[in-house]
Structure 1
Amino acid sequence: MYYIQQCFYSLCCVIGFSVIFNLPRKLLMPAGISGMVGWLVYVLIQPLTTSFIMPSLIGSIVVGIIGESFAYVKKHPATMFTIPGIIPFVPGYGIYYTMLHIVEGDVDQALMTGAQSLFIAVAIACGIILATTFMRKLKPYLLHLL
């Protein structure tokens, strides 16, 4: 039941952002699916590791691969599927608490939460880059199979 809730909430989150992002109506569900599957991977990997970076990296790789696949099938840019798809991974909680600790004068805690948020953001960017590179290298081989 927990995983079904997580899938539903992430789907709603991504579709809501996609509406704000002005995605065409026919692309809302594919973008939502890319974000939902990426978040499900994130939630499944999180208990398996002690790292806070690895789930974000692997989840964003999944979002990137699905986004590139949808881009090829739907004939639209991959950013229309990957940008909304990574929204659940964005470390808004960490950034908020970093700013709160700065305002309260707790520099040590601010540096710790800020560094964690920065590492997560870098992991998301690296995941998308890895997925895009992988799919671009793999695409000529996949075209021969189709």
Structure 2
Amino acid sequence: MTWWQGLGLSLVSAVAYGLLFNVPVRALLAGGLAGMTGWIVFYLLPFWGAEVTLSTFLAATTVSLLSQLLSIYLRVPSTNFSVAGIIPLVPGSMAYKAMLAFVNGEYIHGITLATKTSMVAGAIASGLILGISCVTVWKGARYADKRPKAH
């Protein structure tokens, strides 16, 4: 698969999941762009030596931050963007290969793939939490600056 095919597929899959989850029409393209941006980060980081788990973590963090910013800009919940945006990062084929290895009796290979799948899933969850936390801290710092100072 070439990079531009990956861009197109990540955009289409994120928009399709947005449709599936009843995302408002005005936010569909933004959700697709969030998914495409996450995929770009995931795709480019291994060229600089990052492992799959790290690149997934940073891509999920990027999707989460972008989802938070888009939710503020478009005034819709951030889950509209984050759920559709992480779809291109989900390790579905890796989980399938792990189960196939177990069915074929290749238990060591299956355990290895299942462990990698779990690590990638954990990286997605951790990246989403980090993005939400960063925006929450930023909002709190902005609010703290606007509060009247006690003398």
Asked if these proteins are the same fold (TM beyond 0.5), I'd say yes
Task: Rate the CA distance shift 1:99–1:27 in 2: closer, same or farther, 3 A.
Answer: same
Q: Which amino acid aligns with 2:11?
A: L
Partner residue, 2:48: 48
Q: Provide the aligned C-alpha RMSD in A.
A: 1.6
> Structure 2 length as normaliser, TM-score?
0.88
Measured in 2, the distance between the counterparts of 1:11 and 1:114 equals 27
Partner residue, 2:33: 33
Q: Which amino acid aligns with 1:58?
A: L
> Structure 1 length as normaliser, TM-score?
0.91
Partner residue, 2:124: 124
- Greater C-alpha radius of gyration: 2
Q: Which ranges of structure 2 fall in alignment gaps of 5 or more residues?
A: 146-151
Q: Which whole-Å deviations, capped at 9, do the CAs of 1:29-80 have from their partners, x for residues lacking one?
A: 1101111111111111122125220110000010000000011111111111
Q: How many residues align?
A: 143
Q: Which amino acid aligns with 2:76?
A: H
Q: Give the 4+ runs in structure 1 shifted more than 6 A.
A: none
Measured in 1, the distance between the counterparts of 2:46 and 2:57 equals 11
* 1:140 Cα deviation after fit: 4.4
Partner residue, 2:59: 59
Measured in 2, the distance between the counterparts of 1:10 and 1:39 equals 7
Task: Rate the CA distance shift 1:69–1:142 in 2: closer, same or farther, 3 A.
Answer: farther
Task: Rate the CA distance shift 1:31–1:50 in 2: closer, same or farther, 3 A.
Answer: closer
Partner residue, 2:104: 104
Partner residue, 1:94: 94
Measured in 2, the distance between the counterparts of 1:120 and 1:35 equals 16
* 1:4 Cα deviation after fit: 3.1
Q: Which amino acid aligns with 2:134?
A: F
Q: Which whole-Å deviations, capped at 9, do the CAs of 1:14-42 have from their partners, x for residues lacking one?
A: 11111112211111011011111111111
Q: Which amino acid aligns with 2:112?
A: M
Partner residue, 1:19: 19
Partner residue, 2:73: 73
